[in-house]
Structure 1
């Protein structure tokens, strides 16, 4: 069984249906999916697609079969991954994924807890350590917008545990404020208020999942030679206000590896390191809501939660 998405505007956005079991390619794993999570990218792809499409970009499950060139995994291995937007999604009982973007599931987490993390952990890791090029000895101040969200809640943990940065998160509600502090932020400011007034000394780095209308604010609060890393792409974005301070702007899309560097094992290595950090108790799952049953009705419910814009952490669906 697989969940099939129809484009927004159809009478039924989601359908349950049967599809043939796919055959693994050279480097593919055929994974029996045990849990998936819903991310903003699921909603974005659903809204922008005019054709039926299997969604899902997070999964935890068990390897059922492997392709002839696979070397990293074997049948029976428990795995987690974020998949590729160029292939059918993870909202299916059996799913094909390239072994080079898959990691071993943390032994200390169940499948639902694990499924909350791959896409957001990869995005956060690449944003911090590939785009911003931060290291264990990096200092200064990092501002994390939307720190109670899926990416923000793991990025705060990574920055706090693996760098010497002061980590400031943004949140607007008491419950999200507490959640961000519990993830390790040094302090929290309200992103609905004047950030320049709340941060009079400025910051060195900004992580931005919500960049529309924010460039002027970034130009005010980011110190000279600082940097912003963004994961969204609002139309008509004008970055010229950043020039006088030589502020760098970076884009982060964790699907870039699968799209343009398919032989790289970078994401396999990142997910392996993250799993080790989870099993050591350094990082923690960001699961906040579990829904039992991966089916069209429950996916519709999970998408609605993400679309609300007020979700804390991650919503996960487990079991068929």
Structure 2
């Protein structure tokens, strides 16, 4: 099968050229695994982070978002049959989706939305799981609840922010504030449903005051948490909640004490990495999101389509993500004919 893999162990941003087109044997499904023929993928910041820090055994296939067709199942599979069109984000500890065929555990996959094409659907699984878990599991927001509360989403124009904004607006009674710094990204956030959009390159207190908001009850910090940390603490009301997904070099929790602010980490790979007892929740979550899309409640977060799945286009996607100026998700689709 065709695949794009890291073929060397050089660390750092310069190793982008080590993403290479290769041929590998087709894997075989056992247990709860589905063998999937990959049709479309999207690229996430986790791809660039793993690539830049990689120093393990090669070749290493990256990629944690896919839409594909089930071609074979393991002996313990009960949720799917060959021919099913599915979507998933996969597991960090297994070969990724940058290949013609991939194994994925059935408990973290679901039937793809019927109303989306493969590319539009591939933009969503990892970010939808992250956003859903952050909003409902980590921050403890209730569906159809939290009237009077205010959610501030830092970095709302990115992949996670784009779906988090929609989930919060469609499924809760929160007032949703998204941050974005450029006219095109601010417009994107407005179109995803944010009540207000503010500029995170300006003092947050001033930006919140401009829209008549004194304090917020919940913060989802999706990028550059270190740069905004003290401002976020100042903006949060006593007993507020702060959740993040990025990787600050340091994070001193002591300033949270005086306001009794709770700190929450979201990492969507935890369930699959440790195979914890509620792994099936990601299957249910993706099934629910697919239903919401087919009902017209949510829409794709596809931002740019980079063409076929090959090393050249994947390198371009990694380069684009590393500028931190991408709006929405970058998607690749299909392998060239042999």
Class of the TM-score when normalised by the shorter of the 2 chains: over 0.9
Q: What is residue 282 of structure 1 aligned with on the other side?
A: 297
The alignment status of 1:198 with 2:207, answered yes or no, reads yes
The alignment status of 1:174 with 2:178, answered yes or no, reads no
**1:272 aligned residue (287, 294, 299):** 287
- Deviation per CA, 1:2-34: give whole Å up to 9, x if none: 101244445832110110111112000000000
The RMSD of aligned alpha carbons is: 1.1
How big is the shift at 1:138?
1.4
**SS of equivalent to 1:34:** strand
**SS of equivalent to 1:199:** helix
Q: What is residue 79 of structure 2 aligned with on the other side?
A: 72
Q: What is residue 145 of structure 2 aligned with on the other side?
A: 137
Q: Is this contact kept in 1: 2:158–2:328, CA < 8 A?
A: yes
The alignment status of 1:313 with 2:328, answered yes or no, reads yes
Q: What is residue 226 of structure 1 aligned with on the other side?
A: 240
Q: Distance in 2 between matches of 1:194 and 1:18?
A: 51
TM-score w.r.t. structure 1 length? 0.98
Mean Cα displacement is larger for which, 132-141 or 163-172?
132-141
- Deviation per CA, 1:203-229: give whole Å up to 9, x if none: 100001121132211221000000011
The alignment status of 1:44 with 2:49, answered yes or no, reads yes
**SS of equivalent to 1:177:** helix
**1:121 aligned residue (124, 128, 135):** 128
User: Aligned residue pairs: how many?
Assistant: 320
5+ long unaligned stretches in structure 1:
none
Mean Cα displacement is larger for which, 79-88 or 227-236?
227-236
How big is the shift at 1:236?
1.8
Q: Distance in 2 between matches of 1:43 and 1:292?
A: 19
Seen in structure 2, the aligned counterparts of structure 1 residues 161 and 305 have a Cα distance that, compared at 3 Å, is same
**1:92 aligned residue (81, 84, 99):** 99
- Deviation per CA, 1:207-255: give whole Å up to 9, x if none: 0112113221122100000001100121121121111000011000000
TM-score w.r.t. structure 2 length? 0.93
Q: What is residue 67 of structure 2 aligned with on the other side?
A: 60
Seen in structure 2, the aligned counterparts of structure 1 residues 28 and 192 have a Cα distance that, compared at 3 Å, is same
